[in-house]
Amino acid sequence: MANYDKYETPLGTRYASKEMMTIFSARERASTWRQLWVWLAEAEKELGLDISDSAIDQMRKHITVSDESFGVARAYEEKFRHDVMAHVHAFGEEAPSAAGSIHLGATSCYVTDNADLIFQKRALDLILPKLAKVIQNLQAFALEYKDLPALGFTHYQPAQLITVGKRATQWIQEFVMDLEDIETVRDRLQFRGAQGTTGSQATFLELFNGDADKIKQLNQILCKKAGFPSAYPISTQTYTRKVDLRVANAVCALGATAQRVCADIRHLANLKEMEEPFEKNQIGSSAMAYKRNPMRCERIASLGRKLARLPANFTATFETQWFERTLDDSAIRRMDIPEMFLLADAILLTLDNVTNGLVIYPNVIKSRINQELPFMATESILMKLASHGVSRQDAHEEIRVLSHQASAVVKQEGGKNDLLERIKKAEFFKPVWNDIDSLVDPALFIGNCPKIVEDYCNGEIEERLAKYKASLSGAATAQISL
């Protein structure tokens, strides 16, 4: 039951998934510390240290931290003012045979930093398929509407025609850039391992009687147990906070992409050309019952704004670390790392919902084209007249006059664009009267858009999504909390 008398982050209560919240939960954090202590003891025993089987067995049986053990740890922390040592003692009470072996040779960052790397790796593995699902949704959308002409916009002014599908491919390409960057930082993520209090490995060198090869073996064993390819070759007391910044630069850029795409959708909703999903009983406004506000895209924009700006925090944390470490990174990282992934997760959940249910209004799109296309078609009319021996300069002047008249009807009288009707009535244009309608077919003005969509979506995007085939085949559209 929710506690209504204390603050809870909306990311946890409204927006992010249960799976992402679990990764960054207090129980997962403390239990991962215990798992790291078990792995360390197992590796040290394998390399010859005197740690009993019964000690390791007791540790294994109590990896998941119970509610009671949290209470014990809390009491120890009040006494010691040190959260890691509080959990060392609490773990020792549940595994008394191992009390002298828990945390052997390690510094606090052995558990805190390695756990953070594990959490980031798991979180990256959780968001990548969700991002791939959004791309897949847009791929299907783009292919469905690859031939549907629509006004293009430059400077948010009507420009050459594109297709609805072509616009979606631009969104896809930007999300694919995020996918590539996030895949890259995921693949390059390494472990801290067991490096000692300043990264000198001195304590482990002492434990292994000066045998440096055993320290190398120790870290190889730990990396294998934790699922990392290797450990960072250089460490201080911590892994460099450049790692967090590197991850943040990739993950947080998703927030900028999400804002940009949803801004397009919100503008198109205003034009009544496209809408996000709107449920049967959904209320758009408490005051204006007729409204269909783009609340999902607005939520994404809001969360994206927050996510896109988090790298500044990671930058400041990295650049202000002194020498082998200072503790002013701790409190902010406890907030920023989980928040970064909870934000990304929440954005992707809502994006999945939006992109899987976009609604298109072809008649509105056609009507807007009809308001602008007569102006765009004048060049084709000029060329057709020239083929009948009419002076291009004379034709240009005639069209200029009629265009300004039609524009005045639209802008000053609020009427429809009647340029074509004017041309059909003007004797000057009689040689091409019968050609006018064929010259203003929107399909003639979309260029190579359909092929661009097909080539991109059936080529590069299909290849890009292939590695996510298993996760996408059974993926359902996210149900978002409102």
Helix pair angle (26-46, 212-226), 10° resolution: 140
Q: Is 209 exposed, middle or buried (0-12, 13-18, 19+ CB in 10 A)?
A: exposed
Dihedral sign of CA atoms 473, 181, 167, 477 in order: positive
Closest of 232, 224, 156, 160 to residue 191, by C-alpha: 232
155 carries an active-site annotation: yes
d(CA 278, CA 15): 18
- For residue 297 the two structure tokens come to 């895209």
CA angle in degrees (0–180, nearest 5) for 24-133-123? 15
- From residue 99, give the alpha-carbon distance in Å to each of 91, 339, 393, 418: 8, 34, 95, 88
Catalytic residue among 66, 230, 285, 367: 285
Q: What's the farthest any 2 CA atoms get from each other in the chain?
A: 105
Q: Give 63's contacts (C-beta < 8 A, 6+ positions apart).
A: 31, 34, 35, 38
Q: Is 3 exposed, middle or buried (0-12, 13-18, 19+ CB in 10 A)?
A: exposed
285 carries an active-site annotation: yes
Q: 158: helix, coil or strand?
A: strand
Q: Which residues are catalytic?
A: 155, 285
